[in-house]
Structure 1
């Protein structure tokens, strides 16, 4: 064990001993066990004196050693002296202050216990209790005397004509506990209402009987002594019963009435008597009590102050050594010296602090080297990244968490044909000409954050139409967005206008080629051959045969004309008219189209669930009617082979966390076989279909019309559905097609210019 540890143990034992003694005293006082304290007061006093002497000796030795160090000028001695003085001051000043206040409090409070007012109050309380009991005693005596006189009037020839029932009535009238007739020798002759403890009431004492014989009536309280049993406090009255006969030696009879005192009154009377007696005892020994309290308080102060001084010297010595090491180390670090510093050898927190400081300086040295290397690497990486961004053909824009433009590459400026670099620190919708594009991109970011689709967990991809500043060209941009740390957002976009245009041209060229080759080219020879047959054979036939020939040729010609019309409609698909956008009530449009499917609704195969309070969207009623018709017809075709086939068409509003409408959705859901994987990947391309009949242009038409309206169309199989295996029975699963409209009509214009579907005939025509 080191020297410092030995000192720590000695000080701890001394402090614990003193604390135990002081707590013993406080415990004895707190429990009001004054006798125990007085028996052990002498040895407790001398033990405290011995402890105080020992502490004085230790403090003297420590003070002498500290002064010698200061005189020799050792480094840190002044700091040690300063810390010792601070600790001593912190320990001594509060102790002296508390002692002064406590001394005044104890001295004055003990005197206040025995104040004249307190003495008078106790006397008044005692007299009040006595007067209350005396009043009740006198009242019972008067009532007993009157009752005895009434009983005497009913006495004849020395015999008591009073019956037990009469005594019981008398007891009830007097509200007494017991009523009895007592003979001259004190024997109980007759009683009523005896106590539960015995059948016969307790006879009066000879003294009470003698007093009643001389005074004719007497009463006294019983059970108010401190050693009396609980609940026995009562008042007993004894009155002489006069006799109306003229015998020479009439027999004496007395009426004894016992009435119980209220329990509260008895308890209070006993409490006042006990308090008054204890007060008188303490008043006699108050000088000794004050000396006892003040003496113990003084000894406790000495113990506390000396312990504080000793701990101040010891702890100051323990604290100053590691602090000096730290001070020297800090001075060296401030000068730029990051070499490893010396460590204090103790295992406490201060020693750990010096070790941590030494490790910190070493880590700082390594970190400084790493920072220098990292700065060089970051500068190089930044230069490389800037070079890559400058040479990218795609546009790159980085937004900060507030949505302001942070980084822009030259490719973005080239694609949108605007100086985006000049708008750094501003929002994208503040760039002239990009307001609509910025709103659409922001909505797409919010939609991805709120309900990302499968495959869009990390980023999203979508195409947008951008009208250039000259309003002459429309750009098709393929935009990819991703969330970055700390709320930033990244947007990368390419101009795919030419690619889209080429794809469309190629697709519709292929459609026209196939239609001309497969359908339209054979139609003309068929029509000409039929007309030639009619021309050659009609003159040679007569009657029914001639009529049949004419009808057959007419049928062939009419069907050929219908086929030509159908081919022309497929060819004209590529030239759909531009959408005439007006405010629309989507729910009304859905109900109008569903009027064409009344039979399916009556059969329970088609059901509509329209949401309430949907805002008016902006769209072309004719084109959207065709979209709803195509989707509903495709869904009914998908469930046509199932007896339990069901189709639901729903409208709903997608809202933000604040309750604002973000999009209006149209959903068509069926419980059919769903889409195969190959159709899911190419569903919106022409001629992609699973039907044995049809052109495969249904979803392609829906996609084109949705693009015209700035809406987003999505198809998906229901959750948990799996495609059927080859050669196995079809697995019913279901599919869902949804359109999300994000363009809404203003509230005022929607109420005034709401466009409702025109007629069922027009819907059927389209």
Structure 2
């Protein structure tokens, strides 16, 4: 590309960027799109734009019309073709640029099965957190070596462990082994681990546990489910919650959309924080929606993706003084696999 500053900026985006020349040949793709399309060592530069689309001829004809008109255009739910043959649905914004066209590719999230890779939202998040995680881990290691107090060393060790867990999770999302790693998960052990972690906060919340001892192990990815629970708990604390209640129950005949679960875990995280702003309740789980000026709006969107990846669902409800996030997860999966 002719503008190194522009290219450096586009390389950092989780959104796919493509530049084609006047003959609709590929001049440049950013790393996010190269990864999404699984191009790997294939060198697409100089190839026709048709390479990227499931119906390449139609895409080329439409792109030619945009180029001739010299006006921006929006394509909805277009099918891209990954190198492996997998089709990817995306919305694409096109605009004339530097004698050719610039395409901004927004991959659409799809319903996720337990064996499917997570969506571009999660992979984009994983890409963004890797560098700060490395710095966090390095600082914790330095502290652990310099302090003599056993409690402080233990806290530094907890930071290192969490950084390693998140780093491993990010690596799995960013590479082709991004599918969930399913195994038996004791949900009560995950909840106790969550409570122990948040006790290290400067002002830890009060915890109330209301566990159903009959809840069996479920089949899931423990690290991802831990991240889901951590996101919910941190949201509650950031909303001013002082008390968190964790409740588990076994339910039968749970309807999730068009599906009926014979047996499901119902896990509720209840807090006494400020609650969900009325204007956000309909869009609560959308990416980049946040009730805080400094919020990223990713936590709840990612949490719902993880729930759906496990065949479950995450719901939220709020009234003054009480916010309840309810997680449903199938329990029959342990017996079906």
TM-score by length of structure 2 reads 0.45
TM-score by length of structure 1 reads 0.21
Larger % of helix: which? 1
Q: Which has the higher contact order (CA 8 A, sep 6+)?
A: 2
Structure ID, larger Rg? 1
